Structure 1
Amino acid sequence: MFDQAKMVMQARKLQKQLANELIEVTAGGDAVKVVINGEQKIKKISLNPDYLNPNRAADIEQWLEAAVREAINRSQASAAEKMKPLLGNMGGFGR
C-alpha cells in the first residue's frame, strides 16, 4: 500500500514538472515558432513577419503544422523518458 502512495506522489510530481517544461520548435527556417509544455498544451505560436506574404500562406500553414507536430513529438518523448522510472516500479512495465 505504501508503494502505491509513493507512486502516486511521484506521478503528481512528474505531472507538475511536465506542466512547467517548455518545448520550442521552429519550422520553415524561422518562419513559424511553436511553444508547448510537457502536457502538450500550446503556450504560444508566433509567425516571423518577414514571411507574412499572402502568396506564401500555404507554406506558412504547412510550416505551422510541421512545428506543432514536432513539438508534440518532442513532448511525448520527454514524458515517456520521465515515466520510465515510474513504469519500472509497476511490475515490469518499461523494461
Structure 2
Amino acid sequence: MSRFDQAKMLMKVKKIQSELQKQIITIEKGDGAVKVEINGEQKIKKIHIDPDYVDLEDIGELERYIEDAVKEAISQSQKIAAEKMQPMMGALGNLGL
C-alpha cells in the first residue's frame, strides 16, 4: 500500500472516530428509573436517575438497573463501532497497526 493510500485510510479512520464520538446511545432500565447515555467510543456521557422511581428500601434494585443499563449501552456502542470499522479492518492490517 502506498503512502498516499495509507494517509487516505488513516483519514477515513479518523473520520469514523469523530462520528463515533458524536453518536449517543441512550438506554433506559426500570421503566425509566435509570437512563444511561454513552457515545460510540464507549465513554459514558450521562447517567440520570429519576428519584420518583427510586425505592430507598431497595438500593440493590437501583444498582442492578444502573449495571444493566451500562452493560447494554457498552454492548450496543461496541456493536456500532465494529460495524463502522468493519470495512476498514482488512486495509488497516496492511498498515502494520
The two structures have a TM-score, normalised by structure 2, of 0.88
Question: Aligned residue for 1:17?
Answer: 19
1:46-79, CA deviations, whole angstroms, 9 ceiling, x for partnerless residues?
Answer: 0112212211211000000000000000000000
The residue number in structure 2 matching 1:81 is: 83
Distance 1:63 1:34 in 2: 10
Post-superposition, which runs of at least 4 consecutive aligned residues in structure 1 deviate over 2 A? Answer: 88-92
Secondary structure of the residue aligned to 2:63 is: helix
Counterpart in 1 of 2:64?
62
CA drift at 1:90:
4.0
How many residues are treated as equivalent by the alignment?
92
1:3-14 correspondence to structure 2 within 5 Å: 3-14=5-16
TM score, norm. by length of structure 1? 0.89
Unaligned runs of 5+ in 1: none
Q: Deviations over 1:23-67 (max 9, x none)?
A: 000112211100011111111100112212211211000000000
| Structure 2: gaps (5+ residues) | none
Name the Cα RMSD after superposition.
Answer: 1.4
The CA distance in 1 between the partners of 2:33 and 2:24, in whole Å, is 19
Identity, in percent, stands at 50
